[in-house]
Chains A and B, each alone.
Chain A
Protein backbone atom coordinates (compact mmCIF):
# COMPACT_ATOMS: atom_id res chain seq x y z
CA UNK A 1 0.00 0.00 0.00
CA UNK A 2 1.29 3.46 -0.89
CA UNK A 3 2.12 5.81 1.95
CA UNK A 4 -0.62 8.30 1.02
CA UNK A 5 -3.24 5.59 0.90
CA UNK A 6 -2.07 4.19 4.23
CA UNK A 7 -2.40 7.58 5.93
CA UNK A 8 -5.75 8.43 4.36
CA UNK A 9 -7.23 5.07 5.29
CA UNK A 10 -5.88 5.36 8.83
CA UNK A 11 -7.57 8.74 9.21
CA UNK A 12 -10.89 7.30 8.11
CA UNK A 13 -10.51 4.16 10.25
CA UNK A 14 -9.38 6.14 13.29
CA UNK A 15 -6.10 4.24 13.58
CA UNK A 16 -4.61 6.08 16.54
CA UNK A 17 -1.06 4.83 16.04
CA UNK A 18 -0.84 5.96 12.42
CA UNK A 19 -2.64 9.27 13.08
CA UNK A 20 -0.10 9.93 15.82
CA UNK A 21 2.61 9.14 13.27
CA UNK A 22 1.07 11.78 10.96
CA UNK A 23 1.33 14.33 13.78
CA UNK A 24 4.90 13.34 14.60
CA UNK A 25 6.09 13.46 11.01
CA UNK A 26 4.26 16.42 9.53
CA UNK A 27 3.07 18.72 12.29
CA UNK A 28 6.48 20.34 13.02
CA UNK A 29 6.85 21.60 9.44
CA UNK A 30 3.34 23.09 9.44
CA UNK A 31 4.04 24.68 12.81
CA UNK A 32 7.14 26.41 11.47
CA UNK A 33 5.22 27.67 8.43
CA UNK A 34 2.31 29.13 10.42
CA UNK A 35 4.42 30.64 13.18
CA UNK A 36 6.58 32.32 10.54
CA UNK A 37 3.47 33.71 8.87
CA UNK A 38 1.86 35.63 11.72
CA UNK A 39 0.22 32.63 13.35
CA UNK A 40 0.07 31.46 16.94
CA UNK A 41 0.33 27.96 18.41
CA UNK A 42 -3.49 27.68 18.68
CA UNK A 43 -3.69 28.47 14.96
CA UNK A 44 -1.33 25.61 14.16
CA UNK A 45 -3.53 23.19 16.08
CA UNK A 46 -6.70 24.38 14.32
CA UNK A 47 -5.19 24.45 10.84
CA UNK A 48 -3.63 20.99 11.14
CA UNK A 49 -6.83 19.47 12.45
CA UNK A 50 -8.96 21.15 9.78
CA UNK A 51 -6.57 20.01 7.06
CA UNK A 52 -6.88 16.40 8.22
CA UNK A 53 -10.67 16.71 8.34
CA UNK A 54 -10.60 18.15 4.82
CA UNK A 55 -8.53 15.20 3.59
CA UNK A 56 -10.90 12.75 5.27
CA UNK A 57 -13.96 14.35 3.69
CA UNK A 58 -12.37 14.44 0.25
CA UNK A 59 -11.15 10.86 0.46
CA UNK A 60 -14.57 9.65 1.60
CA UNK A 61 -16.19 11.49 -1.30
CA UNK A 62 -13.89 9.92 -3.89
CA UNK A 63 -10.50 8.29 -3.29
CA UNK A 64 -7.76 10.91 -3.49
CA UNK A 65 -4.94 10.14 -5.89
CA UNK A 66 -1.97 11.98 -4.46
CA UNK A 67 1.68 11.34 -5.14
CA UNK A 68 2.94 12.72 -1.84
CA UNK A 69 0.85 12.85 1.32
CA UNK A 70 3.27 15.30 2.89
CA UNK A 71 3.18 17.73 -0.03
CA UNK A 72 -0.60 17.60 -0.32
CA UNK A 73 -1.13 18.04 3.43
CA UNK A 74 1.27 20.97 3.43
CA UNK A 75 -0.56 22.61 0.51
CA UNK A 76 -3.92 22.21 2.23
CA UNK A 77 -2.56 23.61 5.53
CA UNK A 78 -0.99 26.51 3.67
CA UNK A 79 -4.26 27.26 1.84
CA UNK A 80 -6.32 27.03 5.02
CA UNK A 81 -3.92 29.52 6.57
CA UNK A 82 -4.14 31.82 3.51
CA UNK A 83 -7.91 31.67 3.77
CA UNK A 84 -7.82 32.36 7.54
CA UNK A 85 -5.59 35.39 7.08
CA UNK A 86 -7.74 36.76 4.27
CA UNK A 87 -10.90 36.35 6.33
CA UNK A 88 -9.32 38.00 9.36
CA UNK A 89 -8.26 40.90 7.16
CA UNK A 90 -11.76 41.27 5.70
CA UNK A 91 -13.43 41.12 9.12
CA UNK A 92 -11.13 43.78 10.49
CA UNK A 93 -11.68 45.99 7.45
CA UNK A 94 -15.46 45.64 7.59
CA UNK A 95 -16.26 45.70 11.29
CA UNK A 96 -13.08 46.47 13.16
CA UNK A 97 -13.61 43.40 15.33
CA UNK A 98 -13.21 39.70 14.89
CA UNK A 99 -16.47 37.78 15.09
CA UNK A 100 -16.95 34.58 17.05
CA UNK A 101 -15.34 31.99 14.82
CA UNK A 102 -17.63 29.34 13.49
CA UNK A 103 -15.13 26.69 12.51
CA UNK A 104 -17.60 24.33 10.94
CA UNK A 105 -18.66 27.13 8.65
CA UNK A 106 -15.10 28.09 7.83
CA UNK A 107 -14.10 24.51 6.97
CA UNK A 108 -17.16 24.13 4.74
CA UNK A 109 -16.35 27.42 3.01
CA UNK A 110 -12.72 26.45 2.61
CA UNK A 111 -13.75 23.13 1.05
CA UNK A 112 -15.58 24.92 -1.75
CA UNK A 113 -12.84 27.54 -2.18
CA UNK A 114 -10.21 24.81 -2.47
CA UNK A 115 -12.36 23.04 -5.07
CA UNK A 116 -12.49 26.25 -7.12
CA UNK A 117 -8.74 26.70 -6.78
CA UNK A 118 -8.07 23.15 -7.97
CA UNK A 119 -10.36 23.76 -10.93
CA UNK A 120 -8.42 26.93 -11.84
CA UNK A 121 -5.13 25.10 -11.42
CA UNK A 122 -6.29 22.32 -13.70
CA UNK A 123 -7.10 24.88 -16.43
CA UNK A 124 -3.86 26.75 -15.79
CA UNK A 125 -1.90 23.58 -16.44
CA UNK A 126 -3.32 23.47 -19.96
CA UNK A 127 -1.50 26.70 -20.90
CA UNK A 128 1.86 26.81 -22.65
CA UNK A 129 4.96 26.83 -20.43
CA UNK A 130 5.61 30.45 -21.35
CA UNK A 131 2.09 31.49 -20.38
CA UNK A 132 2.32 29.62 -17.09
CA UNK A 133 5.61 31.30 -16.29
CA UNK A 134 4.54 34.83 -17.12
CA UNK A 135 1.15 34.57 -15.43
CA UNK A 136 2.60 33.02 -12.27
CA UNK A 137 4.87 35.95 -11.70
CA UNK A 138 2.24 38.46 -12.81
CA UNK A 139 -0.34 37.06 -10.36
CA UNK A 140 2.25 37.21 -7.60
CA UNK A 141 2.54 40.96 -7.94
CA UNK A 142 5.49 41.52 -10.27
CA UNK A 143 5.14 44.66 -12.38
CA UNK A 144 5.30 44.61 -16.19
CA UNK A 145 8.66 46.31 -16.03
CA UNK A 146 10.07 43.73 -13.65
CA UNK A 147 8.73 40.91 -15.81
CA UNK A 148 10.34 42.49 -18.86
CA UNK A 149 13.73 42.52 -17.15
CA UNK A 150 13.34 39.15 -15.51
CA UNK A 151 12.25 37.29 -18.63
CA UNK A 152 14.28 39.41 -21.07
CA UNK A 153 11.42 40.83 -23.13
CA UNK A 154 12.05 43.75 -25.49
CA UNK A 155 9.45 46.14 -24.14
CA UNK A 156 6.78 46.57 -21.51
CA UNK A 157 4.19 46.60 -24.23
CA UNK A 158 5.22 43.11 -25.38
CA UNK A 159 4.93 41.84 -21.81
CA UNK A 160 1.52 43.44 -21.41
CA UNK A 161 0.26 41.88 -24.64
CA UNK A 162 1.57 38.50 -23.55
CA UNK A 163 -0.14 38.74 -20.15
CA UNK A 164 -3.43 39.78 -21.78
CA UNK A 165 -3.29 36.89 -24.26
CA UNK A 166 -2.40 34.26 -21.65
CA UNK A 167 -5.00 35.56 -19.23
CA UNK A 168 -7.67 35.57 -21.91
CA UNK A 169 -6.71 32.02 -22.85
CA UNK A 170 -7.10 30.67 -19.31
CA UNK A 171 -10.43 32.47 -18.94
CA UNK A 172 -11.59 30.93 -22.19
CA UNK A 173 -10.62 27.45 -20.92
CA UNK A 174 -12.45 28.06 -17.65
CA UNK A 175 -15.62 29.30 -19.29
CA UNK A 176 -15.68 26.42 -21.74
CA UNK A 177 -15.80 23.84 -18.95
CA UNK A 178 -19.28 22.77 -17.85
CA UNK A 179 -18.10 22.71 -14.19
CA UNK A 180 -17.62 26.47 -14.32
CA UNK A 181 -21.31 27.10 -14.92
CA UNK A 182 -22.14 24.65 -12.15
CA UNK A 183 -20.03 26.43 -9.58
CA UNK A 184 -20.70 30.00 -10.64
Chain B
Protein backbone atom coordinates (compact mmCIF):
# COMPACT_ATOMS: atom_id res chain seq x y z
CA UNK B 1 0.00 0.00 0.00
CA UNK B 2 1.48 3.40 -0.92
CA UNK B 3 1.78 6.15 1.64
CA UNK B 4 -1.33 8.07 0.55
CA UNK B 5 -3.52 5.01 0.51
CA UNK B 6 -2.12 4.00 3.88
CA UNK B 7 -2.93 7.41 5.33
CA UNK B 8 -6.40 7.28 3.90
CA UNK B 9 -6.95 3.87 5.50
CA UNK B 10 -5.67 5.15 8.84
CA UNK B 11 -8.06 8.09 8.61
CA UNK B 12 -10.97 5.76 7.98
CA UNK B 13 -10.00 3.50 10.86
CA UNK B 14 -9.67 6.56 13.06
CA UNK B 15 -13.11 7.78 12.10
CA UNK B 16 -14.58 4.32 12.62
CA UNK B 17 -13.12 3.63 16.06
CA UNK B 18 -13.94 7.15 17.22
CA UNK B 19 -17.50 6.74 15.98
CA UNK B 20 -17.21 9.72 13.64
CA UNK B 21 -18.54 8.14 10.44
CA UNK B 22 -21.91 8.74 8.90
CA UNK B 23 -24.19 5.70 9.02
CA UNK B 24 -23.72 5.15 5.30
CA UNK B 25 -19.91 5.26 5.54
CA UNK B 26 -19.98 3.07 8.60
CA UNK B 27 -22.01 0.36 6.90
CA UNK B 28 -19.79 0.51 3.85
CA UNK B 29 -16.65 0.27 6.00
CA UNK B 30 -18.08 -2.68 7.90
CA UNK B 31 -18.84 -4.60 4.73
CA UNK B 32 -15.30 -3.86 3.59
CA UNK B 33 -14.02 -5.33 6.85
CA UNK B 34 -16.14 -8.42 6.36
CA UNK B 35 -14.42 -9.01 3.04
CA UNK B 36 -10.93 -8.22 4.32
CA UNK B 37 -9.80 -10.29 7.32
CA UNK B 38 -6.53 -8.36 7.68
CA UNK B 39 -8.34 -5.03 7.85
CA UNK B 40 -10.84 -6.48 10.30
CA UNK B 41 -8.03 -7.70 12.53
CA UNK B 42 -6.24 -4.33 12.42
CA UNK B 43 -9.41 -2.48 13.36
CA UNK B 44 -10.07 -4.93 16.17
CA UNK B 45 -6.59 -4.37 17.63
CA UNK B 46 -6.85 -0.58 17.31
CA UNK B 47 -10.20 -0.67 19.01
CA UNK B 48 -8.92 -2.94 21.78
CA UNK B 49 -5.92 -0.70 22.34
CA UNK B 50 -8.02 2.43 22.51
CA UNK B 51 -10.47 0.87 24.97
CA UNK B 52 -7.71 -0.71 27.03
CA UNK B 53 -5.58 2.39 27.40
CA UNK B 54 -8.40 4.85 27.91
CA UNK B 55 -8.81 5.25 31.66
CA UNK B 56 -12.54 5.84 31.30
CA UNK B 57 -13.17 2.84 29.09
CA UNK B 58 -12.53 -0.90 29.10
CA UNK B 59 -12.10 -3.49 26.40
CA UNK B 60 -14.75 -6.16 26.89
CA UNK B 61 -14.22 -9.72 25.90
CA UNK B 62 -15.99 -11.51 23.10
CA UNK B 63 -17.14 -14.41 25.26
CA UNK B 64 -17.98 -16.60 22.27
CA UNK B 65 -14.34 -16.94 21.34
CA UNK B 66 -13.14 -17.66 24.90
CA UNK B 67 -15.73 -20.21 26.03
CA UNK B 68 -13.29 -22.88 27.12
CA UNK B 69 -10.99 -20.51 29.02
CA UNK B 70 -13.99 -18.99 30.80
CA UNK B 71 -15.31 -22.40 31.80
CA UNK B 72 -11.92 -23.37 33.23
CA UNK B 73 -11.72 -20.25 35.38
CA UNK B 74 -15.29 -20.68 36.57
CA UNK B 75 -14.54 -24.28 37.46
CA UNK B 76 -11.55 -23.13 39.47
CA UNK B 77 -13.64 -20.52 41.29
CA UNK B 78 -16.13 -23.23 42.21
CA UNK B 79 -13.43 -25.56 43.55
CA UNK B 80 -13.52 -26.38 47.26
CA UNK B 81 -10.10 -24.77 47.74
CA UNK B 82 -11.11 -21.42 46.30
CA UNK B 83 -14.48 -21.50 48.03
CA UNK B 84 -12.69 -21.90 51.34
CA UNK B 85 -10.23 -19.16 50.46
CA UNK B 86 -13.16 -16.96 49.54
CA UNK B 87 -14.95 -17.71 52.81
CA UNK B 88 -11.77 -16.70 54.68
CA UNK B 89 -11.64 -13.40 52.81
CA UNK B 90 -15.32 -12.86 53.49
CA UNK B 91 -14.76 -13.56 57.18
CA UNK B 92 -12.08 -10.85 57.38
CA UNK B 93 -14.38 -8.55 55.43
CA UNK B 94 -17.17 -9.13 57.96
CA UNK B 95 -14.80 -8.33 60.83
CA UNK B 96 -13.63 -5.20 59.06
CA UNK B 97 -17.17 -3.95 58.44
CA UNK B 98 -18.20 -4.84 61.99
CA UNK B 99 -15.49 -2.56 63.35
CA UNK B 100 -16.38 0.21 60.89
CA UNK B 101 -20.07 -0.09 61.74
CA UNK B 102 -19.31 -0.12 65.46
CA UNK B 103 -17.37 3.10 65.06
CA UNK B 104 -20.27 4.65 63.18
CA UNK B 105 -22.76 3.42 65.75
CA UNK B 106 -20.61 4.78 68.55
CA UNK B 107 -21.01 8.24 67.11
CA UNK B 108 -24.75 7.80 66.82
CA UNK B 109 -24.94 6.43 70.35
CA UNK B 110 -23.33 9.55 71.73
CA UNK B 111 -26.60 11.39 71.15
CA UNK B 112 -28.63 8.82 72.99
CA UNK B 113 -26.57 8.42 76.12
CA UNK B 114 -29.31 9.53 78.45
CA UNK B 115 -31.87 7.16 76.96
CA UNK B 116 -29.40 4.30 76.96
CA UNK B 117 -28.46 4.96 80.59
CA UNK B 118 -32.10 4.85 81.67
CA UNK B 119 -32.64 1.67 79.74
CA UNK B 120 -29.57 0.02 81.26
CA UNK B 121 -30.70 0.97 84.76
CA UNK B 122 -34.07 -0.58 84.09
CA UNK B 123 -32.50 -3.65 82.54
CA UNK B 124 -30.01 -4.21 85.36
CA UNK B 125 -32.85 -4.21 87.90
CA UNK B 126 -35.17 -6.42 85.90
CA UNK B 127 -32.82 -8.63 83.87
CA UNK B 128 -32.59 -11.63 86.25
CA UNK B 129 -36.36 -11.67 86.56
CA UNK B 130 -36.86 -11.28 82.82
CA UNK B 131 -34.36 -13.96 81.88
CA UNK B 132 -35.71 -16.37 84.41
CA UNK B 133 -39.05 -16.34 82.63
CA UNK B 134 -37.81 -16.73 79.08
CA UNK B 135 -39.23 -19.58 77.06
CA UNK B 136 -37.24 -21.14 74.21
CA UNK B 137 -39.45 -19.16 71.85
CA UNK B 138 -38.28 -15.95 73.60
CA UNK B 139 -34.70 -17.01 73.11
CA UNK B 140 -35.48 -17.70 69.50
CA UNK B 141 -36.91 -14.20 69.10
CA UNK B 142 -33.86 -12.69 70.78
CA UNK B 143 -31.27 -14.51 68.75
CA UNK B 144 -32.85 -15.22 65.36
CA UNK B 145 -30.47 -13.71 62.81
CA UNK B 146 -31.51 -15.19 59.51
CA UNK B 147 -30.62 -11.99 57.75
CA UNK B 148 -27.03 -12.65 58.84
CA UNK B 149 -26.60 -15.44 56.30
CA UNK B 150 -23.73 -14.12 54.23
CA UNK B 151 -24.30 -12.78 50.78
CA UNK B 152 -22.70 -14.86 48.16
CA UNK B 153 -19.21 -14.39 46.97
CA UNK B 154 -18.59 -16.20 43.71
CA UNK B 155 -22.08 -16.38 42.41
CA UNK B 156 -22.83 -19.07 39.90
CA UNK B 157 -26.11 -19.18 38.01
CA UNK B 158 -27.82 -21.25 40.70
CA UNK B 159 -26.39 -19.04 43.40
CA UNK B 160 -27.59 -15.85 41.76
CA UNK B 161 -31.07 -17.30 41.40
CA UNK B 162 -31.26 -18.32 45.07
CA UNK B 163 -29.92 -14.92 46.15
CA UNK B 164 -32.54 -13.05 44.14
CA UNK B 165 -35.39 -15.28 45.33
CA UNK B 166 -34.26 -14.96 48.95
CA UNK B 167 -34.21 -11.19 48.67
CA UNK B 168 -37.79 -11.27 47.45
CA UNK B 169 -38.72 -13.79 50.19
CA UNK B 170 -39.94 -16.30 47.62
CA UNK B 171 -39.15 -19.26 49.88
CA UNK B 172 -41.36 -21.72 48.00
CA UNK B 173 -39.49 -21.04 44.79
CA UNK B 174 -36.17 -21.61 46.55
CA UNK B 175 -37.16 -24.95 48.02
CA UNK B 176 -38.66 -26.10 44.70
CA UNK B 177 -35.50 -25.07 42.89
CA UNK B 178 -33.43 -26.96 45.45
CA UNK B 179 -35.54 -30.09 45.07
CA UNK B 180 -35.24 -30.00 41.29
CA UNK B 181 -31.48 -29.52 41.54
CA UNK B 182 -31.26 -32.37 44.06
CA UNK B 183 -33.04 -34.70 41.67
CA UNK B 184 -30.46 -33.84 39.07
CA UNK B 185 -27.72 -34.54 41.67
CA UNK B 186 -26.43 -31.01 41.29
CA UNK B 187 -24.26 -29.62 44.05
CA UNK B 188 -25.15 -26.39 45.72
CA UNK B 189 -22.84 -23.59 46.75
CA UNK B 190 -22.33 -23.78 50.51
CA UNK B 191 -23.96 -20.43 51.29
CA UNK B 192 -26.88 -21.23 49.00
CA UNK B 193 -27.62 -24.17 51.25
CA UNK B 194 -28.02 -21.86 54.23
CA UNK B 195 -30.63 -19.89 52.33
CA UNK B 196 -32.39 -23.08 51.26
CA UNK B 197 -32.46 -24.22 54.91
CA UNK B 198 -33.77 -20.85 56.02
CA UNK B 199 -36.47 -21.02 53.33
CA UNK B 200 -37.70 -24.40 54.58
CA UNK B 201 -37.70 -22.93 58.08
CA UNK B 202 -39.78 -19.90 57.10
CA UNK B 203 -42.25 -22.22 55.40
CA UNK B 204 -42.59 -24.17 58.64
CA UNK B 205 -40.82 -27.25 57.24
CA UNK B 206 -38.47 -27.65 60.18
CA UNK B 207 -37.30 -31.19 59.46
CA UNK B 208 -36.29 -30.31 55.91
CA UNK B 209 -34.53 -27.20 57.22
CA UNK B 210 -32.55 -29.32 59.70
CA UNK B 211 -31.63 -31.78 56.97
CA UNK B 212 -30.28 -29.00 54.74
CA UNK B 213 -28.26 -27.53 57.62
CA UNK B 214 -26.80 -30.98 58.20
CA UNK B 215 -25.75 -31.16 54.56
CA UNK B 216 -24.12 -27.75 55.00
CA UNK B 217 -22.23 -28.93 58.10
CA UNK B 218 -21.07 -32.07 56.31
CA UNK B 219 -19.55 -30.00 53.51
CA UNK B 220 -16.88 -29.27 56.11
CA UNK B 221 -16.07 -25.80 54.91
CA UNK B 222 -14.51 -23.26 57.21
CA UNK B 223 -17.99 -21.84 57.84
CA UNK B 224 -19.54 -25.19 58.79
CA UNK B 225 -20.22 -24.18 62.39
CA UNK B 226 -22.84 -21.72 61.13
CA UNK B 227 -24.96 -24.76 60.34
CA UNK B 228 -25.19 -25.65 64.05
CA UNK B 229 -26.25 -22.12 64.93
CA UNK B 230 -29.14 -22.23 62.48
CA UNK B 231 -30.10 -25.70 63.72
CA UNK B 232 -30.20 -24.21 67.21
CA UNK B 233 -32.61 -21.52 66.02
CA UNK B 234 -34.89 -24.22 64.58
CA UNK B 235 -34.88 -26.16 67.87
CA UNK B 236 -35.58 -23.00 69.86
CA UNK B 237 -38.49 -22.25 67.58
CA UNK B 238 -39.76 -25.83 67.95
CA UNK B 239 -39.39 -25.53 71.73
CA UNK B 240 -37.33 -28.72 71.68
CA UNK B 241 -35.37 -28.60 74.95
CA UNK B 242 -33.34 -31.74 74.49
CA UNK B 243 -32.14 -30.87 71.00
CA UNK B 244 -31.53 -27.27 72.04
CA UNK B 245 -29.19 -28.46 74.81
CA UNK B 246 -27.47 -30.94 72.52
CA UNK B 247 -26.85 -28.33 69.84
CA UNK B 248 -25.69 -25.77 72.39
CA UNK B 249 -23.12 -28.30 73.58
CA UNK B 250 -21.89 -28.80 70.03
CA UNK B 251 -21.48 -25.03 69.51
CA UNK B 252 -19.82 -24.59 72.90
CA UNK B 253 -17.32 -27.35 72.21
CA UNK B 254 -15.14 -24.87 70.32
CA UNK B 255 -14.70 -21.16 71.00
CA UNK B 256 -14.16 -20.51 67.30
CA UNK B 257 -17.60 -21.78 66.42
CA UNK B 258 -20.02 -19.29 64.92
CA UNK B 259 -21.93 -17.28 67.56
CA UNK B 260 -20.11 -19.03 70.42
CA UNK B 261 -20.76 -16.10 72.80
CA UNK B 262 -24.46 -15.96 72.03
CA UNK B 263 -24.72 -19.71 72.57
CA UNK B 264 -22.97 -19.31 75.93
CA UNK B 265 -25.50 -16.67 76.98
CA UNK B 266 -28.41 -18.90 75.99
CA UNK B 267 -26.89 -21.81 77.90
CA UNK B 268 -26.55 -19.67 81.04
CA UNK B 269 -30.06 -18.28 80.67
CA UNK B 270 -31.54 -21.74 80.35
CA UNK B 271 -29.94 -22.99 83.57
Q: Which A residues are closer than 8 A to B by beta carbons?
A: 11-12, 14, 16, 19-20, 22-24, 27, 45, 48-49, 52-53, 56-57, 79, 82-83, 85-87, 90, 100-105, 107-109, 111-113, 116-117, 120-121, 124, 135-136, 139-141, 160-161, 164, 167, 170-171, 174-175, 183-184
Q: How far is the CB of A114 from chain B (nearest CB, A)?
A: 10
Contact residues of B: prevailing secondary structure: helix
Interchain CB contact under 8 A, B60 and A103: no
B69 at the interface (CB under 8 A from A): yes
A175 and B84 alpha carbons, distance in the complex (Å): 40
Interchain CB contact under 8 A, B96 and A27: yes
Residue of chain B at shortest CB distance from A168: B10
Interchain CB contact under 8 A, A174 and B45: yes
Residue of chain A at shortest CB distance from B55: A140
B103 at the interface (CB under 8 A from A): no
Interchain CB contact under 8 A, A139 and B49: yes
12 residue pairs bridging A and B, Cβ less than 8 Å apart: A14-B84, A16-B92, A20-B95, A83-B60, A100-B161, A103-B153, A117-B59, A136-B53, A139-B53, A140-B55, A140-B56, A160-B7
Interchain CB contact under 8 A, A45 and B82: no
Interchain CB contact under 8 A, B53 and A104: no
Q: How far is the CB of B71 from chain A (nearest CB, A)?
A: 8
Interchain CB contact under 8 A, B156 and A102: yes
Partner of B91, one of A16, A83, A111: A16
A107 and B84 alpha carbons, distance in the complex (Å): 17
A142 and B260 alpha carbons, distance in the complex (Å): 59
Q: Which of A85, A121, A141 has the most CB of B within 10 A?
A: A141
Residue of chain B at shortest CB distance from A28: B100
A55 and B6 alpha carbons, distance in the complex (Å): 42
Give the chain B neighbours of A164 by CB distance below 8 A: 6-7, 10
